[in-house]
Structure 1
């Protein structure tokens, strides 16, 4: 399904060993986890991996952040430069501060030991333990296995199934998918950039729905607002308010189905 040239085009800076292993395992793993069922699932999966791992390059969280970066990543924990400077460029201390005492991290050093790893950046002892059981790997005992090209795709696919992410793909809810993975919307613009790249580099052989790029989603929101159906932000995030507006417009126009299909987009001229 996924060829080595396609993966190389999508992740051009990735190490050869990771690209080769990914291509070799994709034919077995993607169908097993429902990721070959439609374009949305496949493209959303590849795009989120691209963002989380920097195109399969940044597979272990180093946490050597500047004060400014700490304020971006954890704004509630580091609301001021003074608060952030205390842990700037101190990876182990930072890991204990932000990850210690939660996500199953109940021993000294767990925050750093079970920091983000792999293509999807799994984090926390309980996640390593759960995915280790699903994959038949001693991840809790050997967390570095998550960065091994022999296991990285297996773990990413297992995470996808464990978190039940395919229904969000089927609904076209890329922002919701990001929240489920990230806990928020950190890096959403970059994630959309990866989605556009995945759609371009991995053409789909069958007709079907395709996620809209961020500028088009903003155009939809502007059109809904102009018609008086939507009063939220023009941010491209199709959340509850946007979905309610879409459902109301569909009902008013007598359009069957749901979501942002071609008839609705035509009606909005978006």
Structure 2
């Protein structure tokens, strides 16, 4: 899916995506916006909408009423009475919000989220929805600029939680860091039979007069070195290249 949405194509795209998703979903543990706030907390989050505790009290502990209040008449939503605020509340790994967003992302991924908004957080669709959001907001371009703050603005609309997003990015980069290349496997030492076959083949070609006794002595080593040089083989001992050149198995 990451390849389908071009998220794995370039170095910054996948780590930036995973870091943003991790923050927005609390490490993939939250897939629906929590709107159950106290009156005091509402005055802190939405001071212009709830300038006093008294104005917030009717919505305390009432997520549906709160969503219909704070998300009304924006992001494509209707009035508070329309119920759009609650219907199109934050869902999924990137917490898509508002009728316009649900419609646009649904169009991008071929799912009618406007008609069935619960699919935004359904296990079968949540990742595709997050990728669709990424495409809708054209976030890959900001990733390619290496601008994580710009990516945060595209996802969040501001820089809320930037420190936590950056902490997630650091964790993600560690996880995605390529593993060190494995050391080449060492070849098994030649068996006595291997040595004997090589000695006999070298004798047949006039490179040595040593007896084919299966013992790797200095004369056998010297003959191997000469044969390898004469046949443009890299320096070495008894290996696949030497056996191939000597036509032995």
TM over 0.5: yes
Checking the alignment, whether the CA contact within 8 Å between 1:134 and 1:158 is kept in structure 2 is yes
Deviation at 1:198, TM superposition (A): 0.9
Pair 1:193–1:138, CA change in 2 (3 A)? same
- For residue 31 of structure 1, give the secondary structure of its aligned residue in structure 2: coil
Bigger relative contact order, structure 1 or 2 (CA pairs below 8 A, ≥6 apart): 1
Q: Distance in 2 between matches of 1:88 and 1:156?
A: 30
Unpaired runs of 5+ in structure 2? 181-249
2:83 is equivalent to residue 146 of structure 1: no
1:110 to 67, 73, 84: 84
Q: In the TM superposition, what are the counterparts of 1:29-68 in structure 2 within 5 Å?
A: 29-68=1-40
Q: Distance in 2 between matches of 1:185 and 1:83?
A: 27
Larger radius of gyration, structure 1 or 2? Answer: 2
Deviation at 1:39, TM superposition (A): 2.8
With the length of structure 2 as denominator, give the TM-score of the two structures: 0.65
Checking the alignment, whether the CA contact within 8 Å between 1:39 and 1:204 is kept in structure 2 is no
Pair 1:202–1:97, CA change in 2 (3 A)? same
- Structure 2 residue aligned with 1:100: 72
2:168 is equivalent to residue 194 of structure 1: yes
Pair 1:204–1:74, CA change in 2 (3 A)? farther
Q: Distance in 1 between matches of 2:164 and 2:41?
A: 16
Q: Distance in 1 between matches of 2:97 and 2:164?
A: 21
- For residue 32 of structure 1, give the secondary structure of its aligned residue in structure 2: coil
Unpaired runs of 5+ in structure 1? 1-28, 207-270
Task: Summarize deviations over 1:46-100 as a string: whole Å, max 9, x none.
Answer: 0110111111111011310223433443344345545444432221111111111
With the length of structure 1 as denominator, give the TM-score of the two structures: 0.61
Task: Summarize deviations over 1:125-183 as a string: whole Å, max 9, x none.
Answer: 11111111221112111111111111111111111011011121122221221111111
- Structure 1 residue aligned with 2:98: 124
Q: In the TM superposition, what are the counterparts of 1:1-270 in structure 2 within 5 Å?
A: 29-106=1-78, 108-204=82-178
Aligned length in residues: 178
